Amino acid sequence: MERSHNYFLIVGAALNGAAALLHAGCIIFGAEWYRFLGAGEQMAQLDLAGHWYPDTITSVIVLVLSVWALYALSGAGLVRKLPFVRLALCVITGVYLLRAVAFVPLQPHFPGNSMTFWLVSSGICLVVGAVHFLGLRQAWPSL
């Protein structure tokens, strides 16, 4: 009997992939994208100055989000089972949910980000974390 796919994790993978592509857009299109996506004026200015920092940090984020998408696809049964898939999906879900609620203590460390950025990005993280949580719960017996 064929196992049905976990649509929550498929959506989670798509959301991770979309976030990775948006971050890649910052690397490709530069300062305006850093500004538009709320990375702050300091990141935009560093990018305009040709500094290595914005693109390096953003590349790491693109890589992490891409790996997270792959793990969500693995948990959904669309790609082969990856090592530590259960643990990875727990960590991914936890990171999203923690980021959604822990923005208040993070704010002082990122003074260039507006309150709008924090509220919108935290809301997005809450939705993505909830989608991952629902998918993880559904897939738990088979992971």
Amino acid 1: pLDDT: 37
DSSP-derived letter for residue 80 is: P
12 part of a folded domain: yes
86 part of a folded domain: yes
pLDDT at 35 over 70: yes
66 part of a folded domain: yes
77 part of a folded domain: yes
| pLDDT tens sequence across 78-136 | 999 999 999 999 999 999 999 999 988 888 887 777 788 889 999 999 999 999 999 99
Instruction: Please give the average per-residue pLDDT across 6-11, as a whole number.
Output: 97
73 part of a folded domain: yes
The mean predicted confidence, pLDDT, of the chain is 93
pLDDT at 140 over 70: yes
2 part of a folded domain: no
Instruction: Please give the average per-residue pLDDT across 1-27, as a whole number.
Output: 91
Task: State how many domains the chain has.
Answer: 1
1 part of a folded domain: no
33 part of a folded domain: yes
Could you list the residue range(s) of the whole structural domain that residue 25 is in? Answer: 7-142
pLDDT at 3 over 60: no
Of the given ranges (24-28, 36-40, 62-66, 94-98), which has the lowest mean pLDDT?
Answer: 36-40
CA angle 50, 68, 74 (to 5 degrees): 145
12, two tokens: 């989670």
Instruction: Please give the average per-residue pLDDT across 54-60, as a whole number.
Output: 97
Amino acid 111: pLDDT: 77
Instruction: Please give the average per-residue pLDDT across 20-39, as a whole number.
Output: 95
92, two tokens: 């991914």
Main-chain phi, psi angles of 102, to 5 degrees = -100, 20
Q: What is the pTM of this model?
A: 0.91
